[in-house]
Structure 1
Amino acid sequence: MPAPASDTVADTAAFEADRKAILGMLGEYRVQFDFRETVILAPAYERKPDQHSGGNEVVILVEDSGDRIVLQHLLVSRDGHVTKHWRQDWQYQAGERFEFSDEQTWRLRAVPAERIAGSWTQCVFEVSDAPRYCGTGRWNHRYGVSTWTSDRGWRPLPRREYSKREDYNALNVENRHTVVPGGWTHEQDNTKTVRTADGMRTLVREFGFNDYRRTDAVDFGPAYRYWEATRGYWARVRAEWNRRLAAGGVRLDTAVDGMPVIEATFRQADRVARGESVSDGEIAAIFDRYVQVLPPEDARLGRR
Structure 2
Amino acid sequence: MKTSYLTLITFITVLFATAQDKKQQDQTAIKDMCGCYEVTFNFTETFNYSNDSLYKPSATKVDKALEWAQLVTDEEDKIQIQHLLQVGNPAEPMIIKHWRQDWLFENQDLYTFDVNNKWVYEHKAKNDVAGQWTQKVYQVDDSPRYEGSSTWVHVDGKSYWENTTPAPLARREYTTRSDYNVLLRGNRQEITDYGWLHDQDNHKIIKEEGKEDVLLAKEKGYNTYVKVDDSRCKAAANWWKENTAKWELVRAKWDNVYARNKDLTLEEKVDNKVLYKHLFNDEVTEKEQIDPIIESFVKK
TMscore range, shorter length:
0.7 to 0.9
Asked if structure 2 preserves the Cα contact closer than 8 Å seen for 1:40 and 1:46, the reply is no
Structure 1 residue 216, shift from structure 2 partner = 2.7
Alignment match of 2:95 (pick from 82, 95, 116): 82
Q: Which secondary structure state, in structure 1, belongs to the residue aligned with residue 88 of structure 2? A: coil
2:88 counterpart letter in structure 1: R
Q: How does 1:224-243 map to 2 (within 5 A)?
A: 224-243=237-256
Partner residue of 2:32?
24
Partner residue of 1:56?
66
Partner residue of 1:3?
none
TM-score (norm. length: structure 2) = 0.87
**Larger of the two Rg values belongs to structure:** 2
Structure 1 residue 145, shift from structure 2 partner = 1.3
Identity of aligned residues (%): 32
Alignment match of 2:288 (pick from 278, 281, 304): 281
Structure 1 residue 39, shift from structure 2 partner = 2.3
Asked if structure 2 preserves the Cα contact closer than 8 Å seen for 1:70 and 1:87, the reply is yes
1:92 correspondence with 2:102: no
Asked if structure 2 preserves the Cα contact closer than 8 Å seen for 1:108 and 1:245, the reply is no
Structure 1 residue 49, shift from structure 2 partner = 1.6
Q: Distance in 2 between matches of 1:74 and 1:60?
A: 8
1:292 counterpart letter in structure 2: K
Q: Which secondary structure state, in structure 2, belongs to the residue aligned with residue 238 of structure 1? A: helix
Partner residue of 1:275?
none
Q: Distance in 2 between matches of 1:82 and 1:231?
A: 13
Structure 1 residue 288, shift from structure 2 partner = 3.1
Q: Distance in 2 between matches of 1:236 and 1:285?
A: 12
1:60 counterpart letter in structure 2: Q
Q: Unaligned 5+ residue runs, structure 2?
A: 1-13
Q: Distance in 2 between matches of 1:38 and 1:218?
A: 38
Partner residue of 1:170?
182
Tell me: CA distance 1:245–1:10, structure 2 relative to 1, closer, same or farther (3 Å).
farther
Asked if structure 1 preserves the Cα contact closer than 8 Å seen for 2:71 and 2:80, the reply is yes
Partner residue of 1:144?
157
Which of structure 1's runs of 4+ aligned residues deviate more than 4 A?
A: 6-10
1:214 correspondence with 2:227: yes
Structure 1 residue 57, shift from structure 2 partner = 0.1
Partner residue of 1:66?
76
TM-score (norm. length: structure 1) = 0.86
Q: Distance in 2 between matches of 1:69 and 1:187?
A: 21
Aligned length in residues: 279
Q: Which secondary structure state, in structure 1, belongs to the residue aligned with residue 130 of structure 2? A: coil
1:120 counterpart letter in structure 2: W
1:203 correspondence with 2:203: no
Tell me: CA distance 1:291–1:134, structure 2 relative to 1, closer, same or farther (3 Å).
same
Asked if structure 2 preserves the Cα contact closer than 8 Å seen for 1:32 and 1:52, the reply is yes
Q: Distance in 2 between matches of 1:134 and 1:229?
A: 29
Q: Distance in 1 between matches of 2:16 and 2:106?
A: 9
Structure 1 residue 201, shift from structure 2 partner = 1.1
Q: Distance in 1 between matches of 2:190 and 2:216?
A: 28
Provide, for residues 56-107 of structure 1, a one-character-per-residue CA deviation record: whole Å limited to 9, x for no partner: 0010100011111000000001321000000000011111211112211123
Q: Unaligned 5+ residue runs, structure 1?
A: 1-5, 273-277, 294-304
1:122 correspondence with 2:135: yes
Q: Distance in 1 between matches of 2:269 and 2:41?
A: 25
Q: Which secondary structure state, in structure 2, belongs to the residue aligned with residue 141 of structure 1? A: strand
Q: Distance in 1 between matches of 2:249 and 2:190?
A: 31
Cα RMSD (Å) of the superposition? 2.3
